Amino acid sequence: MSGVAAFNVRAVLSACRDMETAMADLYDLLAKIHTGVPYMAKLWSKTANEERNHAAQFALALDIANAAVKAVRVDISTIERTLRAVHMLREACFAHPPTVEQALHAAIAFEEALVDLHADKIPIFAEESHRKLFTAMMAADREHVGRLRRALAVGPSTPTPTPVPSYRSHRK
């Protein structure tokens, strides 16, 4: 892998890891906002943990990138734009905590937009065995969006969202 290609691979994989971590932070925030709806707080927390698993998959891809990843399928600017959008949505949740229904609609839209930005889709692996490994890891939580859709279909009982302290005091 050339020096330029190696930098691009590492930069994209690192940005993807950061994006997944930001999504986990967003879902953790939604769990706090919706503590009054216990099943939703639990679903948001579960989804946050799945996003942390996605981040760990990108961390693994970074660890093996020099030997196992030939290239990536996306440009870093795509990931950076997505990361900025996640941060903006998180800020908006601090400013105006969404109802469960609003949060579900936003989460489903984000998840559908991110479907091709996972660790089994972005890297072009040098060996088929590596691709299969990452595909198998992602298969474990393919129901990610399905659970959010089912929660929306059930029709959330929505008490007033729990206010959260200002965004500035929670910045990472």
pLDDT computed for residue 4 by the predictor: 42
Overall average pLDDT of the 103-109 stretch: 94
The most confident of 7-16, 103-112, 122-131, by mean pLDDT: 103-112
**Residues whose CB falls within 8 Å of the CB of residue 141, separated by 6 or more in sequence, listed in order:** 50, 53
Q: Map out the domains of the chain with their CATH numbers.
A: 3-156 (1.20.1260)
pLDDT exceeds cutoff 60 at 92: yes
pLDDT computed for residue 2 by the predictor: 43
Report pTM.
0.83
